[in-house]
Structure 1
Amino acid sequence: MALTYDEALAYLRQLTNYEAPQPVPYNPEHFNLDTLEAFLQTLGAPHQAFASVHIAGSKGKGSTAAMVAAVLERAGFRTGLFSSPHLVSIRERTQINRQWISPDDFAALVTELREHAGQPGGRIGRKPTFFEFNTALSFLHFARQRVDIAVVEVGLGGRLDTTNVLIPEVAAITPIELEHTRILGDTLAAIAWEKAGIIKPESCVVSAAQASEVIEVIEQRCEVQQAALAVAGREFHSDIAELSREGSTFHFTGFGHHWHDLKIPLLGRHQVGNASVALAIIARLMAQGWAITKDHVTQGLSRVHWEGRLEILDRQPWTVCDGAFTVEAAQHLRRSLTELFDYQRLWLVLGLATDKNRAGIIECLGSLAHEVIVTPFQNPRSCDPQQLAAEVQRQGVPARIAPDSATALAWAQAAANPDDMICIAGSLFLLGEIKARQRGSAPEF
C-alpha cells in the first residue's frame, strides 16, 4: 500500500539515525558500504546510471556543491544535487536542477524502497540507516529522472561514508579542520585520512588550500591511488576584487583558464575560496570533454543560492543567520560581520550541538556581542543551554537563557534597535527551526 508523505516521514523516523544521537565510533560496525551496496543492487544499481562529482571536507561542502551544480545546470546538463543535513524539509537533500523532489515522488520512493529494506534472510541483512536510506532514495530518483550528472556531498568523513559507493568524475576536498573528533580522530592528519578515503584509483582530485599535515595525507593517498591532484594556491587560485553585502567579485586562474570579474551572491571572502574549488572541479570536467563555457560559469555562479550561510533575513535591524558550527567557520562569520556590515550593537542568538568546540566558538563570536541569548533546539544533539551560558559568562559576556529558539529570537528583536545587528549562529538545526517557523511549518527531523 502506498504511503502518504506523512507516513513516509514516520517510517524514516524509526530508522537508526546517526545524525541525531550522541556520536558513535566511526568503524565498519556502524559505518560501512556493504549494506548500501547490497541495497542498491536490489534496486538495479542506480548509482551507476549517472556521472558524479563527490565532495568531502569539514566545511564549505554544501556551498561548493551548490556552485558546481549551478554551473552544470546552466550548461544544459540535467543536474542532481545530494546534500545534508537539510534545514527544514528532508526533500531539500534531493534536488534536480535546483528543484526539490516532490512530496508525491518522495513518498512513492519510500514506499518502494521500504519493500527492499532489510527483509529477514535477504541480501541486505539489516535495515538501512536513515542516511543510507536517503542516499539510496536520492540515487534512485536521479537514475529514474535521467540526470546527466549528480553533485554529491559526503555525509560524514569519507572513507566509510555511504556516498563512497560512487566512482566520480572528480573528487574534491574542501577545507579540513578539527571537527567530529570523537568520531573521526583527534588530529588533522587522522581526519584527513578519513576524508581522503573518497579518492579512487586513477581519479581526478581537487583540494582547497589545507594545513601542511592535511596536504601530506591527501598527497600520500593520491600517490597510492595514482590520482591526479590539484591544490588551491598551487595549481589554481582566485583573487578577490570586491566584497559587499550583495556578494563577491573575483578572478580565477588555473588549468589554462583566466576568468575575470566572476560574481557570486554568497557572502564572505571564504565563499570565494569555496568558489575557487568549485571552478577547479568545473575546469577538470571541461578537460574531460564536458561542454561548459565561460558564459555558463559566469551565469551559473551569479544564480547560486544556498540557505543558512551568512544569509540576510532582515535589514532593520540587520538579521543574519549562519551555521558557524566549527571554530574556523565562526572566524569566517566574525570577519564577514566586521567587513560587510555597519551596526551599533550585536545580539547573538546561539545554539550549539554537544560535539562542537563550545569554548572556541564562543571565544570567537562572543566578544562581538552586546549580549548572547543562548537557546536549545529540538534535536537530541542540542547542548545544555546552562553549560553554554556558563561558558559565555566565563568569557565576560552577558548571557540569557531562552527556553526555545522562538523566544530567543523574539528577545533579540525586542531589544535591538534599527541600527543594531541580530546574528543567529551555531547550528544548522537551530537555523532550520527558525526558518521553518518563518514558513509556518516545523523541521521534519
Structure 2
Amino acid sequence: MTIFWTVVGIAIFFFGLLVSIAWHELGHFATARWFGIKVPEFMVGFGRTIWSVRRGETEYGIKAIPLGGYVRMIGMLPPAKGGQLGRDRRTGPFQGLMDDARRESQAMVMPADVGRQFWTRSPWKRIIVMFAGPFMNLILAIALFFVTFMGVGVLTPNTQISALEECVLPVTAVQNGAPDRCPAGAPQAPALAAGVQPDDRILSVRGQEFGPDDGVALQEAIRASSGPTPIVVERDGRQLPLEVDVIPNTLQDRNSDDPNATVTAGYLGVLLDTSYQPLTAVETTERIGDGVAATAEAITRIPERVPALFGAAFLGEERDPESPMGVVGVSRIGGEILAQEDVPWQQDVGLFLNMLAAVNISLFLLNLLPIPPLDGGQIVPAIWESIKRNTARAIGRPDPGPVDAAKLLPFAYVFVIVFLGFFLMVTVADVVNPVRMFG
C-alpha cells in the first residue's frame, strides 16, 4: 500500500503542477484577448503535441515535455527599424538570430491581423499581459495558503499534557535524539517532582488563566517563570492547585530562524498535546508575507548552492535539505507525503497545499526576472519604451518608436543553455540523491 500511495501522491502533485502552469498561461491568454491580440496557441508543456483541440482561432493542447507552457501571441517582436524584415539574413553571430526571430514572429501574421500584433499595443497593455501570468500564480498561492491556514489549520500545542520529561536536559543534549534514560546526576524534571501527571490540563500559571487552545501562550508563560510557581491543573474533572519549582534551562530560541539557536528560559518538563487550529486572516497574511520573502531569498541563493548540488548529483555527497528541487523532486515529495501512515488527514492536506503554494510563489518570482524568455524579459523593454516615449514627448522630440526586444535574444539563448544544464543537474540529483522530507 505504501508504494501505491506514493505513486498516487506523485500523480496528484504532478497534476497540481500542470494546473499551476495552465493557470499561469490563462493570465496571459485572457489579458491578450482582452486587448485584442490574436492568440493562435495555448499550450501546456513543450515539444511534440500529444493532444490538442481548436476552438475558434486558438488551438489548445498538451505537449510531451511538462516543463512549462506558453501562449503564442502574434507579432511578439517589432520589425527591424524602418518597418521591414529585410530580404537577406545577416551573417553576424547575433544579428542572424535576431533576423530569424523577427521572421518567426511575423510568420503567423496574416494581412487581416496586422493590427492585432503584440508589439503594436501600448507599453502599459503589454506590461499587463506579461505580468498577468506570474500574477495568476501569486493569486493561486494566496488562495492555497488561505485554505491551508484558515481552513485546515496549523498544528499548534494546546494545554493538555501528553507526556512528562523525567529529568532536566539542555536542548543541545537531545537535538540528536533523547537518551533512553536520564544520565547520572541529572536533576528530576520540575513537573514530575511536583506531582503533575500525563493527561492533566494546565488551567493557570501564577494566576494567568489559559483556555484549551492557548498552548503557545502557556509555553511562553512557563519560559518567563522562575522558582516556586503556583499552577492549577484539571484532572478527572477536578481542579488541583500545585506548586512547581521552575528552573532555568537551555532551550531552543523560538524567535530565531536558526534551528540551532538557544536561549536560557524557564523549564517545567511537560510535553503538550497538539491539535490543528485555524489561523486568523491577519496571521495568514503575515505567514504569506514571510513565505514570499523566504522564497525570494532562496532564489537569490541558488547560484551559491550549485557546487553542493553538483556534488550531490555526481559525487555522492550528502544532499542539502534546502537544495533546489525540480519537477521530479517536488512530485516525489508529494508521494512521500501521501505514503505516511497513521497521520491525521490535516497533515497530508496541509503539506500538499503548502508545497503547491510554494511552487506557485517560486513561479511568480522567477518569471519576473528581467531575462528573456521569462515574462520579465518582455516587461522590462515595455517599461523602457514607455520611459523613452514619455521623455521624448516631454521635451518635444519625435516618438522614438518601439524598443527592439530582439536585441535581448543573445541573453535569452545563454539563459536557456544555463537553465537546461541546471535542470539536468537538478533532475539527476532528484533521482539518485533526493531530498527526503521524512528521513
* Structure-2-length-normalised TM-score: 0.23
The structure whose RCO (Cα within 8 Å, separation 6+) is larger is 2
* Structure-1-length-normalised TM-score: 0.22
